[in-house]
Chain A
Amino acid sequence: MDPDTETEVDLGFSDSANPLWSLYGRISKEYDTANLNDLTSGMDGLLVFVRSLSSTLSLL
């Protein structure tokens, strides 16, 4: 079926399953935040390095 024209027929779970998905949201947010913090902290360090390197190169 064309995903663009497909309508949301059924959520698959009733409202009573919301606590489970809330828990999933909380746990996955903690997990993803920890992971992404690791990644982005590395990227920030890289930007500092690139800045200093670029400045040095441009002076040369």
Chain B
Amino acid sequence: MDGMHPKAGLFSAVLTAFIIDRSQSIQPTPAAQSAFYQQQSVALLNQISQQLSSLGAQIPVPSNSSLPDFILSPSTSDVRVNIIWIISLVSSLTAALLATLIRQWARDHMRIFQYYRHPLKVARLRQYLYEGSSRRGYMRAIAEAVPGLVHISLFLFLAGLADFLLNTYTTVGTSTLFATVLCAMLYIIITVTPSVNPQSSYRTPFSPLVWYITRNLWRKSSAGGFRFTPLRLGFDIAEGQMRIAMRFGVARHLRDARAIGWLVNSLTFNVEDAGSLALAIIGTFDTRWCANAWVRERIDRNKELYRDIRRLFETCSNRRLFKDEDEWRVRARACTEAMALFVFSMGADISLIRHPGKVLSDIASSGGTREVSEIKSNQSFAIRWTCLSLVIIRKLLNSSELQSYAHTTLQQLSAFHPEDGLDPTETALRTARSIDEQFAAAWNHVERLRQALNTSEEKDLTRGRITKILRQNEPDLTPIQEQVESMERLGMDASLSELQQRINEETHGLIQKLPGVAFDDVTGTTTVGQTLDLVAGPVQPQLIYLSRLLRRLFGINQEWRNQGLQEMVRTLRSIEAIPSSLSQSHLMERQLWRLQDLSNGAFGFTLELYFLSIRQLLSTLPSPPSEIHETVFDRALWDITSDWQEFNSIGTRQIILDLVCDIAFRDRGIFSNVGYPGYITMTLLDLLRRMIAGQGGAFVEDAKREIRREDLTVFDPQFLSKARDILGQPHE
């Protein structure tokens, strides 16, 4: 209304000047007035003359003689022009009046909030007035009519002008009429444009009326006749446009995608914008469609965007750049998720990130990746961080220094019982199997002891009785003792501990922050119960310090001397049973394959980390996981295993074979009893098929025997069937 008021005033002023001029055409001119007065004078003189003549002749004077009237006769055109222009002036002045009134109404309405302090009074009065006028849109309708009045006034003026000029000078009038018609046609086109093309922003004050009429007609014809159907789109074009813009469909999807593309291309990419975008991106990947929108608009090919997000992610390694810990945490987590989305959903090159392990490790130090409660509180972050970390770990573990450490540890096993004619791998395997046998024997000893203690009555458990039970088993312990002493002599635990330390250093401690991954601790005391939890629990460490554990099991006979008899009895009785599967857990053999794999690039080791982490994440997710989470899991697995041809060592193959057997059978090993999603297990089987193609020898034959075992309980029959098919295939 601020602009309308002076415009209407300006137009009225211009119009008035024309009206003053043309109004004279309908007023008596001086010449006409002079002629009229002369005519009246002649008539009067004639009347006087007749009266004077009548005095002498006694002639009666007609009493009905009268003076002539003044007759004004303007042309029809003048009358028409004046009518049109005066209506135009009235319209214009009415617009100015309404503009003034609307401003006053608005002022009066806002005074509610100034005059009254009591909130209840304000609320009630405001609601009272709102329901009376504002809500029904009367004020808005009047406000929108004001420009219409000015426009009507303008066109009336132009029509009058053309009419006037046509009757004054035809050529000038025709030109004016032509220009006026052109202007009117343009106005009409603009008026109907929103009705024809609802996406158009062009409109006039009469467009809502045309919109309403055309929508009404369209609805009637689309219904197959002229049956009345109530309108749901009123005069409000904006509301109608909103409804159309929100309509579900392919067009909307494409528009949304283009909006994202426009946004990305419009950002100037300073740190603030990139930070805002990083925060914003992650929320758009909740569904596959949203993720595809980025690809559809080729935003994934926007190298500048990825570069800026990547740089932002890298700045998170320096906390001094941030105002406080919270700001760093929010930015770092957002960048991590954005990076994960770029890598897993848009195929960005992860190798371009500088020092990713350190940044990811720092971010995990602030929590949110390992504890179940933390994972549940922000599942998307935990999933994206874990999968990104796994892919990074895969690259970090493929270091020559680490391979050298792993190789040294592996050589210790080969040197354990060197035999002529055997290659180092076979010698190491024999050693590992020997240790596993002693480990199983040690558990059997513990189990026998536990059973003996449990079957005895409390009153019969005298020191003499227990000593007798312990001594009965002592002959079986001699080989275990020899094994432990040999392992300790070679420093196997120390070597493994050093390897674990190197792994932690290479990965900046990233592995230790992965969900669902357990670690053995070479220091610290353990009881038999804790040892059992470590090796028979749902999550076993990948690297276990077996000589220490073996000594613990073997040393249980001496334990009662140190801890006291009752303590040992209580410990053993607290154990429900030693699982029979422990005797076939092949902990050392599996550890051997891990060492062999670590000395060849850690492909299988990382794959195990993937399955351990995914198991933990899946346990916190609704079943099945959302489509977008599946995409991240699937893509991370692909990224980890895509270069399998370079890392097809015997240790890697054995790790994968053990993984497959664990998934197929219940209680077989570290990966048993978990319902991994089909897209993961199928990828694993496909990997197995490709890795064993062309491979033979005793190890593959062992795997074939293992997968055909009948003494184990099947966990996933379908998976087992496919695994058997793959392992049963003739070698290519």
**Which residues on A are within 8 Å of B, measured CB to CB?**
1-6, 8-20, 22-24, 27-28, 31, 47, 51, 54-55, 58-59
B476 to chain A, nearest CB (A): 61
Q: A20-B260, A20-B281, A27-B263 are in contact. Are A58 and B17 (CB under 8 A)?
A: yes
CB of B267 within 8 A of CB of A27, answer yes
CB of B280 within 8 A of CB of A23, answer yes
Nearest 8 pairs of A and B residues by beta carbon: A16-B283, A58-B17, A20-B280, A19-B280, A17-B283, A54-B14, A23-B280, A17-B284
In angstroms, Cα B260 to Cα A28, docked, is: 11
Q: Which of B10, B215, B246, B263 contacts A23 (CB 8 A)?
A: B263
In angstroms, Cα B18 to Cα A14, docked, is: 62
**Which residues on B are within 8 Å of A, measured CB to CB?**
7, 10, 13-14, 17-18, 215, 219, 222, 231-233, 243-244, 246-248, 252-253, 256, 259-260, 262-263, 266-267, 276-277, 279-284, 286-287, 289-290
Q: Which residues of B contact A19 (CB under 8 A)?
A: 276, 279-280, 283
Given contacts A4-B233, A9-B248, A12-B248, 11 further A-B contacts (CB under 8 A): A4-B232, A12-B252, A12-B256, A12-B289, A13-B283, A15-B283, A19-B279, A19-B283, A20-B283, A22-B280, A51-B10
CB of A8 within 8 A of CB of B248, answer yes
In angstroms, Cα B286 to Cα A16, docked, is: 8
When C-beta atoms are compared, the residue in chain A nearest to B253 turns out to be A12
In angstroms, Cα B283 to Cα A28, docked, is: 19
Q: Which residues of A contact B219 (CB under 8 A)?
A: 2, 4
B223 to chain A, nearest CB (A): 9
Q: Which of A10, A13, A24, A59 contacts B290 (CB 8 A)?
A: A13
CB of B248 within 8 A of CB of A27, answer no
In angstroms, Cα B280 to Cα A19, docked, is: 5
A50 to chain B, nearest CB (A): 8
Q: Which residues of B contact A2 (CB under 8 A)?
A: 219, 222
CB of A13 within 8 A of CB of B248, answer no
CB of B284 within 8 A of CB of A13, answer yes
Interface CB pairs A-B, < 8 A, 22: A2-B222, A3-B247, A4-B215, A4-B232, A4-B243, A6-B243, A8-B243, A8-B248, A11-B246, A13-B283, A13-B290, A14-B286, A15-B283, A16-B286, A17-B283, A17-B284, A19-B283, A27-B267, A28-B262, A31-B266, A58-B17, A58-B18
B237 to chain A, nearest CB (A): 13
In angstroms, Cα B267 to Cα A10, docked, is: 28
Q: Which of B232, B252, B279 contacts A5 (CB 8 A)?
A: B232
In angstroms, Cα B280 to Cα A15, docked, is: 11
Q: Which residues of A contact B277 (CB under 8 A)?
A: 23
CB of B248 within 8 A of CB of A10, answer yes
When C-beta atoms are compared, the residue in chain B nearest to A55 turns out to be B14
CB of A17 within 8 A of CB of B286, answer yes
In angstroms, Cα B17 to Cα A24, docked, is: 51
Q: Which residues of B contact A27 (CB under 8 A)?
A: 263, 266-267
When C-beta atoms are compared, the residue in chain B nearest to A9 turns out to be B248
Q: Which residues of A contact B246 (CB under 8 A)?
A: 8, 11
In angstroms, Cα B14 to Cα A19, docked, is: 52
In angstroms, Cα B215 to Cα A58, docked, is: 43
B82 to chain A, nearest CB (A): 16
Q: Which residues of B contact A55 (CB under 8 A)?
A: 13-14
In angstroms, Cα B232 to Cα A19, docked, is: 31
In angstroms, Cα B233 to Cα A6, docked, is: 11
The CB with the most chain A CB atoms within 10 A, among B13, B248, B277, is that of: B248
